[in-house]
């Protein structure tokens, strides 16, 4: 019998992964003026020892106004790059796990408080707040201040900021870039007819609404080394009638594939407070399955994947090529170890932890000479 599919090596746009487990980007809201801190070294460092296939740095704003909160990480100047370099170098000293970064702009969902402080919008006139910007001057929630509708010049500036952040990512030696076009943030706002009411070439038809996100992709792809992958995270549906849906997602994914996108990471929701999400195990897998049936590039499934057999089934049946973990791996940073033990797979552990291998799982840990990332 062959081993578990979840622990097979996987080639992603020239990047070789030890298995099909992706650590999804997870905001920590712990940066200072966009600069990473010791928290990020601790947080990402422990996850880099988890045995997963790839680690993704949290949503990283390409301009200060693109942060969700004042505690978000950024990569827009030399100071933010230097702070990130310190963290990346610290991880690299002890882990060879590939590191990706998610580049983002929060659009109208920016300028909010930290989640554990309520997460409400902060007015532009208050400390830690700023004027938000979006495709159209439509507020996200009732009672919130409306964003400023982006001018063509400002759209160009943000597109160029994405590209510059990609160049900084390359200087940092990061292995992949993911563009955030999901969860109701700026690029998703362009895609959805619920948030995009523009009457120029960037609004109206599906082709027009996809135009700016595709321009951003092209700019990032052109700025990042050709031999390294650029992927995109999408919301497969708004879960609101008349909003962004699976058909639009498929069209967008096909357009991205034609431009050299290496993979599509399929999430959902986040754009409209009216969303009605049928939350449960595998609730987003059908969206990933639909995209996978329409493109030839790899597809990543995410969302309430917690069980080892569940994860194995998703990739073994072909619903997706990889699975991503977020809250699950925060709760259990050794989830890949435990999944490998349960399924009969093997996983790389740091040399310092090799003696922790349980006696009943004698072949759980790969040795340094027979497994690399």
Catalytic residue numbers? Answer: 185
Written in H, E and C, the secondary structure of the chain is CCCCHHHCCEEECCEEECCCEEECCCCCCCCECCECCHHHHHHHHHHCCCCCCEEEEEEEECCHHHCCECCCCECCCHHHHHHHHHHHHHHHCCCCCCEEEEEECCHHHCCECCHHHCCCECCCCCCCCCCCEECCCCCCCCCCCCCEECCHHHHHHHHHHHHHHHHHHHHCCCCEEEEEECCCCHHHHHHCCCCCCCCCCCCCCHHHHHHHHHHHHHHHHHHCCCCCCEEEEEECCCCCCCCCCHHHHHHHHHHHHHCCCCCEEEECCCCCCCCCCCCCCCCCHHHHHHHHCCCCCCEEEECCCCCHHHHHHHHHCCCCCEEEECHHHHHCCCHHHHHHHHHCCCEECCHHHHHHCCCCCCCCEECCCCCCC
Contact residues for 147 (Cβ-Cβ < 8 A; gap 6+): 107, 108, 131, 132, 133, 134, 136, 137, 138, 139
């Amino acid at each position: 019998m062959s081993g578990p599919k979840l622990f097979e090596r996987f080639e992603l746009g020239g990047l070789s992964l030890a298995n099909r487990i992706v650590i999804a980007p997870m905001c920590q809201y712990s940066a200072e003026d966009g600069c990473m801190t010791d928290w990020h070294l601790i947080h990402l460092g422990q996850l880099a020892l988890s045995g997963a296939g790839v680690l993704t740095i949290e949503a990283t704003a390409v301009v200060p106004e693109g942060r969700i909160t004042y505690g978000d990480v950024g990569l827009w100047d030399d100071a933010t790059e230097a702070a990130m370099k310190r963290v990346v170098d610290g991880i690299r000293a002890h882990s060879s796990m590939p590191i990706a970064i998610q580049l983002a702009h929060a659009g109208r969902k920016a300028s909010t408080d930290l989640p554990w402080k309520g997460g409400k919008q902060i007015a532009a006139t208050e400390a830690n707040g700023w004027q938000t910007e979006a495709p159209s001057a439509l507020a996200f929630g009732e009672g919130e201040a409306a964003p400023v509708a982006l001018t063509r010049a400002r759209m160009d500036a943000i597109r160029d900021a994405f590209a510059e952040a990609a160049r900084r990512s390359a200087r940092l030696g990061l292995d992949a870039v993911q563009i955030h076009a999901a969860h109701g943030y700026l690029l998703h706002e362009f895609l959805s007819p619920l948030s995009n009411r523009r009457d120029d070439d960037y609004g109206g038809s599906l082709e027009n609404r996809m135009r700016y996100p595709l321009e951003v992709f092209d700019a990032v792809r052109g700025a990042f080394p050709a031999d390294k992958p650029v992927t995109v995270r999408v919301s497969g549906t708004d879960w609101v009638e008349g909003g962004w849906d699976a058909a639009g997602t498929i069209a967008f994914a096909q357009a991205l594939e034609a431009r050299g996108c290496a993979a599509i990471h399929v999430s959902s929701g986040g754009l409209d407070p009216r969303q009605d999400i049928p939350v449960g195990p595998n609730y987003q897998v059908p969206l990933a399955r639909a995209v996978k049936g329409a493109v030839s590039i790899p597809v990543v499934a995410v969302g309430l994947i917690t069980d080892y057999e569940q994860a194995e089934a998703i990739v073994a049946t072909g619903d997706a090529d990889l699975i991503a973990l977020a809250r699950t791996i925060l709760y259990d940073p050794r989830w890949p170890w435990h999944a490998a033990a349960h399924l009969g797979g093997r996983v790389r552990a740091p040399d310092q932890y090799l003696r922790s291998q349980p006696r009943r799982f004698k072949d759980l840990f790969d040795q340094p000479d027979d497994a690399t990332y």
